[in-house]
C-alpha cells in the first residue's frame, strides 16, 4: 500500500461544493474555503474537473471545514456527512448506471465494491463478502493520514451514506453500520450490511 499522497476523484470536490451551495448558499462554500490552508484554497477556488484526480488531503480537510463552518456538533457529524455522501452518490451515478443498479441485486453491487471504491480513490482497497443471506460484511483498507488516504469522516460516515444510496437504487432498504474502524485501532474499517 502506498505511503505517499493519496488522490481522490474530482467528482468528490465538485459534488461537495454543489451540496454546500444547494444547502447553504454560494457564500457558504466561500466561507468554508477561507478556513482551509492556503494551498487548499488555491485548488478549491479553481474549478476542479470531476474526472480529474486531486490530492486527498483537501477532501479530508473540506469535510472537517464543513462541519466546523456549519457549526455541526459532533453528535450531528454522522447525519451531515451521510447526507453529503448520499448526494454524491445520486449525482455521480449517471442515469445509465442508475438503470443498471435497479436491474441488479444488492449482491451484484456489493460484489463490485472494490471497483466502486476505485471510482473515488486511487489508494487503498475495498471489498465485501457474504456472511449469510441478505447480510454482508463490507470493508475498506486504506492508509491513515490526512494526505495519505480517506479520512475518518469518509470512512465512518461517507462510506455508509454512499453505499446506502447505491443499494437503495437496487430496490432494497439497507441497514449499514461501521463495526470496526482503522481510526480506532482496527486493521481496517468494516461495515455490517443487511436488508
User: pLDDT (tens digit, 9 = 90+) per residue, 52-67?
Assistant: 999 999 999 999 999 9
The reply to whether 68 and 98 lie within a common domain is: no
Which CATH number do you get for residue 115?
Answer: 3.90.1520.10
Give how far the C-alpha of residue 183 lies from the chain's centroid of Cα atoms, to the nearest Å: 16
The reply to whether 32 and 48 lie within a common domain is: yes
Least confident of 77-81, 101-105, 123-127, 142-146: 101-105
Q: What CA–CA distances, in Å, run from 61 to 7, 73, 95, 107? A: 13, 17, 30, 33
Q: What CA–CA distances, in Å, run from 157 to 31, 34, 73, 151? A: 23, 24, 15, 10
Query: How many domains does the chain fold into?
Result: 2
Confidence band of 96 (pLDDT split at 50, 70, 90): low
Average pLDDT over residues 67-93: 91
In a domain, 1, yes or no: no
Q: In what order do the strands lie in the sheet with 175-180?
A: 125-132, 135-141, 189-194, 175-180
> Phi, psi (5° rounding) for residue 130?
-75, 135
The reply to whether 102 and 137 lie within a common domain is: yes
User: pLDDT (tens digit, 9 = 90+) per residue, 126-159?
Assistant: 999 999 999 999 999 999 999 999 999 999 999 9
Domain C-terminal end among 90, 118, 151: 90
pLDDT given for residue 92 in this prediction: 87
pLDDT at 168 over 80: yes
The reply to whether 101 and 182 lie within a common domain is: yes
Q: Which domain holds residue 107?
A: 94-194
Amino acid at each position: 500500500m502506498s505511503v505517499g499522497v493519496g488522490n481522490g476523484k474530482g467528482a468528490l470536490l465538485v459534488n461537495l461544493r454543489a451540496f454546500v451551495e444547494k444547502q447553504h448558499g454560494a457564500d457558504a462554500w466561500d466561507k468554508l474555503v477561507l478556513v482551509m490552508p492556503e494551498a487548499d484554497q488555491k485548488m478549491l477556488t479553481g474549478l476542479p474537473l470531476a474526472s480529474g484526480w486531486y490530492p486527498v488531503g483537501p477532501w479530508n480537510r473540506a469535510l472537517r471545514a464543513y462541519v466546523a463552518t456549519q457549526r455541526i456538533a459532533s453528535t450531528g457529524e454522522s447525519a451531515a456527512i451521510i447526507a453529503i455522501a448520499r448526494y454524491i452518490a445520486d449525482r455521480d451515478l449517471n442515469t445509465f448506471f442508475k438503470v443498471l443498479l435497479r436491474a441488479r441485486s444488492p449482491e451484484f453491487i456489493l460484489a463490485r465494491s472494490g471497483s466502486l471504491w476505485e471510482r473515488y480513490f486511487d489508494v487503498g482497497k475495498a471489498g465485501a463478502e457474504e456472511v449469510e443471506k441478505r447480510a454482508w460484511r463490507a470493508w475498506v483498507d486504506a492508509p491513515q493520514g490526512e494526505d495519505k488516504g480517506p479520512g475518518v469522516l469518509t470512512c465512518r460516515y461517507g462510506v455508509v451514506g454512499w453505499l446506502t444510496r447505491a443499494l437503495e437504487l437496487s430496490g432494497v432498504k439497507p441497514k449499514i453500520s461501521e463495526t470496526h474502524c482503522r481510526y480506532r485501532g482496527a486493521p481496517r474499517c468494516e461495515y455490517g450490511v443487511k436488508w
